[in-house]
């Protein structure tokens, strides 16, 4: 098989569905989701092997994984799987925020967006104990710029943040189905690749934001 000069694979397991995306960033781009729910761990490895066919593991240039926030168990499974693969293949692994991927999907769905003068994108996702995972990003011609990294706040505090934000802002609330944004996980990883980043697999760690059990 011909060795491709560039081939990236992304995994998204931070919600009940599994999302996979593969691209050479020129001609080949495909993404797919599977609603495995609690059976994710049973199907993940065979689904991965079927999905990358006809390519081999050795064809991959880098991996990307959604590191959360999202479901505790699914996020852990995805990050552990991606770390193991990247270690075995000795290739870079990009840990991408689930919230950043959602923000990038907003950009991708707005083809006429002026990236030199775009509003900031404020993303929130339901967390445990009536809290919200939140982050704010600024679209730019070279990619997303993080204005506020992920953190957990109350709905009231988030509303205050939005009200006091010094500039135009677009608020987006995530649904439980984050898997379709796996294509954006791959896009953001490729942007980092083009910027010269080559992260070691050990740098990709899950973002949980909250302990899964209330203290």
Residue 70, domain CATH? 3.30.420.40
Number of domains in the chain: 2
Residues 85 and 190 in one domain: yes
In this prediction the pTM is 0.92
Query: 119 with 162, same domain?
Result: yes
Res 144: pLDDT: 94
Q: Give the mean pLDDT of the chain.
A: 92
Cα–Cα distance, 215 to 212 (Å, whole number): 9
Over residues 170-183, the mean pLDDT reads: 94
One domain for residues 160 and 183 = no
Peptide bond into 54 cis (omega under 30): yes
pLDDT at residue 215 greater than cutoff 50: no
Q: Which residue has the higher pLDDT, 28 or 93?
A: 93
CA 162, chain centre distance (Å):
23
The band of 4, judged by pLDDT with boundaries at 50, 70 and 90, is low
Claim to verify: residue 17 and residue 81 sit in the same structural domain:
yes
Asked, as a colleague might, if the bond just before 85 is cis with ω within 30 of 0, I would say no
> What domain range includes position 108?
98-173
Tell me the CA distances in angstroms from 154 to 121, 124, 125, 177, one per residue in order. 19, 11, 11, 22
Q: Do β-strands 62-66 and 29-34 pair in parallel, antiparallel, or remain unpaired?
A: unpaired
pLDDT digits (tens, 9 = 90+) for 123-144: 999 998 899 999 999 999 989 9
pLDDT in tens, 50-83: 999 999 999 999 999 999 999 999 999 999 999 9
Q: What is the pLDDT of residues 101-118, one digit of tens each?
A: 999 999 999 888 899 999
pLDDT over threshold 70, residue 212 = no
User: What CATH code is carried by the domain that includes residue 129?
Assistant: 3.30.420.200
């Amino acid at each position: 098989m011909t060795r491709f000069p560039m081939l990236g694979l992304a995994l998204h397991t931070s919600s009940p569905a599994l999302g996979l995306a593969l691209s050479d960033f020129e001609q080949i781009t495909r993404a797919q989701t599977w609603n495995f729910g609690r059976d994710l761990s049973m199907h993940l490895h065979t689904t991965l092997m079927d999905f990358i066919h006809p390519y081999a593991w050795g064809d991959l240039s880098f991996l990307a994984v959604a590191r959360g926030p999202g479901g505790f168990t699914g996020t852990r499974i995805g990050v552990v799987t991606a770390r193991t693969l990247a270690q075995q293949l000795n290739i870079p692994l990009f840990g991408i925020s689930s919230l950043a991927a959602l923000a990038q999907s907003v950009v991708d769905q707005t083809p006429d967006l002026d990236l030199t003068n775009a509003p900031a994108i404020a993303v929130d996702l339901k967390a445990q104990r009536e809290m919200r995972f939140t982050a704010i990003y600024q679209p730019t011609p070279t990619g997303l710029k993080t204005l506020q990294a992920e953190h957990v706040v109350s709905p009231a505090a988030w509303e205050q943040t939005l009200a006091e934000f010094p500039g135009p802002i677009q608020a987006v609330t995530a649904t439980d189905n984050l898997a379709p944004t796996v294509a954006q996980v791959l896009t953001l990883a490729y942007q980092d690749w083009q910027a010269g980043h080559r992260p070691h697999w050990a740098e990709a760690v899950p973002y949980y934001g909250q302990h899964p059990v209330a203290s």
